[in-house]
Homo-oligomer: A and B are copies of this chain.
Amino acid sequence: MFVTTEYRVKFYDTDTFGVVHHSNYIRWFETGRVEFLRMLGIDLNEMMSDRILFPIIEVSAKFHAPARFDDELEIVTTAEALTKAKMKFNYVIRKRGEEKILAEGTSTNVFTSGGKICRLPDKYSTKLVKFTS
């Protein structure tokens, strides 16, 4: 299973080299996982209301080719591991309709309650755990 999110590059995403600043791909990864979780029926505002947080503990990215102003990008998000203890996602970013990968990456989030690592309550984990690709 995967979720595709779309994004059109803004001027404020670009830098003096005429290309997207690399830190923005990291931000678009986050958008990908938020939408992946939404598709599983997981509402992060509800999770926050339940005092369950999901800090990111690791991110990595490889940058193969630049995106530029007004490019229409597709961020494809897949789940590598979704458990009661963590969420690990993979991301691939391309221009819409093209094969060439511009950037790809991975991230891991854990779950916390009261500032401490916790296991995700069943209310959420039943939606989450069966969908690792």
Contact = CB atoms under 8 A, between A and B. Distances in A.
Interface of A: 10-12, 14-19, 21-24, 26-27, 30-31, 34, 44-45, 48, 53, 55-64, 66, 68-70
Contacts of A10: 27, 30-31, 34
A26 to B, nearest CB: 5
Contacts of A70: 34, 44-45
A58 B62 contact: yes
Nearest to A29: B23
Contacts of A15: 11-12, 14-16
A26 B29 CA distance: 14
A62 B68 contact: no
A56 B45 contact: no
Given A12-B27, A26-B22, A45-B70, A58 B56 contact: no
Contact of A16 (B11, B24, B27, B63): B11
A48 to B, nearest CB: 8
A87 B58 CA distance: 22
A23 B26 CA distance: 6
Contacts of A16: 11, 14-16, 18-19, 48, 68-69
Given A10-B31, A26-B23, A70-B45, A17 B53 contact: yes
